[in-house]
Amino acid sequence: MKKILVYSLLAAVLFGNSGAGCSSKNSDDPQPQQITSLVGKWEAIRALYHITKQDGTTLSTGPELKSKGTVIIWEFFSDGRLKATGDIDGSTKTREVRWSLNAKRTSGIGIEEGKLTIIGKEEREFAQLIGQTGDLTYDIQTVDGINGSAAMFLEVDATKVGPYKKNILTYVYHKL
């Protein structure tokens, strides 16, 4: 039940209607590192929960998003804009927010280790809910996939909103 809450909260953050979007470039807006592998469209294919229960047992579970009727597309632009489009239960919503990347280690055009920050009012509120300060920040990794397709892994600690000893949420995206 709690994992559904976490997923629902994150979906609500991404597709809320309360105007956190940016429609024009501002000199104060963060400019992401020029890592070209991130720019473009990415589709969320699954959400994974890596859970450690209070008794120490571990569990990995989570929905296949598209097969469950949830389509989430993130489009990263090189100027720091991020357009998030979601089709959840037949209702399509689009928001535009900002993104910033701090890649600690890269190889070729991929990101071996880094922090992806999503900047918007709802994202900041969700970050506070899960115990982060400031904007919503994910650990990020990208890899080249089979047949030239790339994969992106976004990870965030969601332990604070559930009954578990540890709950790490990982979103898996593939590049379109």
Establish if 129 belongs to a structural domain: yes
pLDDT of 37 reads 73
Is residue 21 situated within a structural domain? no
Residue 112 lies in a domain: yes
Task: Please choose, from the candidates 122, 37, 140, 20, the residue with its C-alpha nearest in 3D space to the C-alpha of residue 81.
Answer: 20
- Residue holding tokens 């509120």? 125
* Number of other CB atoms surrounding residue 176 within 10 Å: 12
Q: Which residues pair with 95 in a beta bridge?
A: 84
Into how many domains does the chain fold? 1
Distance CA 15, CA 95 (A): 6
Query: pTM value?
Result: 0.78
Q: DSSP string of 154-165?
A: EEEE-GGGSSSS
Residue 12 has a pLDDT of 39
Within-domain flag for 25: no
169 inside domain: yes
Report yes or no on 72 lying in a domain. Answer: yes
Residue 15's closest CA among 44, 50, 49? 44
What is the full per-residue pLDDT of the chain (176 aa) written as tens digits?
444 434 444 443 444 333 334 444 444 554 445 566 789 999 999 999 999 999 999 999 998 987 777 889 999 999 999 999 998 777 899 999 999 999 887 666 678 899 999 999 999 999 999 999 999 999 999 987 666 678 999 999 999 988 999 999 999 999 99
Domain hosting 67: range is 2-15+30-175
CATH number where 7 lies: 2.40.128
Asked if the structure places residue 111 within a domain, the reply is yes
C-alpha dist (Å) from residue 41 to 18, 46, 68, 78, 84: 23, 16, 20, 12, 10
Is 171 contained in some domain? yes
Residues 6+ apart with CB under 8 A from 14: 72, 84, 86, 95, 122
